[in-house]
Structure 1
């Protein structure tokens, strides 16, 4: 009995994640989620108590995915350029699976949900120390370390977040856009690094 409960709860949560992160349906109703999950809408209230609790659970999972992505790379022993290269790969892979994840997180923050992380100060200090060292070694242009971070995030995330608009306006198929994103890694690295 517990296994079925856990399975139903899991199906509801994964369906909500699919609708939000993969299909971009941020305003999906509990009825739409229930229909897509193949369950009765009352089960959403049974397992999550309310629509808001389900949304908070999904938002927390989104945060966890982002934190795990960042931590697995920035806390590694790779050299700085390899870390950035790996970060690009992971960002693009995650976007392939969940194209609307970052957009969802930003939209939820704009609606008042918080996105606080532990150890942010220590991790950002470590990242900026790596940026300064890379500048001293001459592999990136001198700038405020935060500018390097803004450049990196913009170069990676802007094409991901703007995908629907760009595809619609430029009449680009999913396959062609996916290839553009794959080609993007080398372009981003050449833009960020001197060699």
Structure 2
């Protein structure tokens, strides 16, 4: 392995370790020392590759934002039939949630802190989506409501279980395996709630 390959590997290891701590374990306040310990590297390497914890956080946030943008593109920029778009968005969201249980909570927490903010929806795309939702309502495929309410419902049905995962698991006395099993059933449940037919 060349010196450059080793550097690239170490930098990627630090980034992936931070993502694991933040998105998989929900440890949003992990220190640079904790990240270094988990990665098995010296803490000074974090400063060497990322200059500061804040810069590392920004890089990790950019990765998280990219995952969210890829999911949103399915709905905003796809020519698929409406229900198929929603179905694929749900698939993508559930796959992301299984891989990174705390990703959306992390993004919201960073936006609430004011440390990271990125809108990934353009106004024209949103208006087109609202028109598409309205057409589906007129066709009788979904209940009539403000289009934004349809989005609220879909996102709530997808995001809420993950947002309360630790509390839910404790109170319902279930483990990670059982939670993931329940999560795997969400797609059909959500589609049946959102769509009349």
TM over 0.5, yes or no?
yes
- Partner in structure 2 of residue 174 of structure 1: 176
Contact (CA 8 Å) 1:44, 1:51: kept in 2 or not?
yes
Higher alpha-carbon deviation: 76-85 or 65-74: 65-74
Q: CA deviation at 1:136?
A: 1.3
- 1:172 partner SS: coil
- Partner in structure 2 of residue 99 of structure 1: 101
Structure 1 residues 132 and 67: CA distance shift in structure 2, 3 A = same
TM-score, normalised to structure 2, is 0.95
CA distance in 2, matches of 1:118, 1:15: 25
Which of 49, 52, 61 pairs up with 2:51? Answer: 49
- 2:174 partner SS: coil
- 1:63 partner SS: helix
The 5-angstrom pairing of residues 4-153 of structure 1 reads: 4-117=6-119, 120-153=122-155
Contact (CA 8 Å) 2:105, 2:163: kept in 1 or not?
yes
Contact (CA 8 Å) 1:63, 1:115: kept in 2 or not?
no
Q: CA deviation at 1:22?
A: 0.7
TM-score, normalised to structure 1, is 0.95
CA distance in 1, matches of 2:124, 2:165: 33
Q: CA deviation at 1:192?
A: 0.7
Structure 1 gaps, min length 5:
none
Q: For residues 20-72 of structure 1, what are the alpha-carbon distances to aligned partners after superposition, in whole Å with 9 as ceiling and x for unaligned? A: 00111111110010011111000000111111111111111111111012113
Contact (CA 8 Å) 1:134, 1:140: kept in 2 or not?
yes
Q: CA deviation at 1:94?
A: 0.6
Q: Which runs of 4+ in 1 moved over 4 A?
A: none
- 2:185 partner SS: helix
Q: CA deviation at 1:77?
A: 2.1
Contact (CA 8 Å) 2:76, 2:126: kept in 1 or not?
no
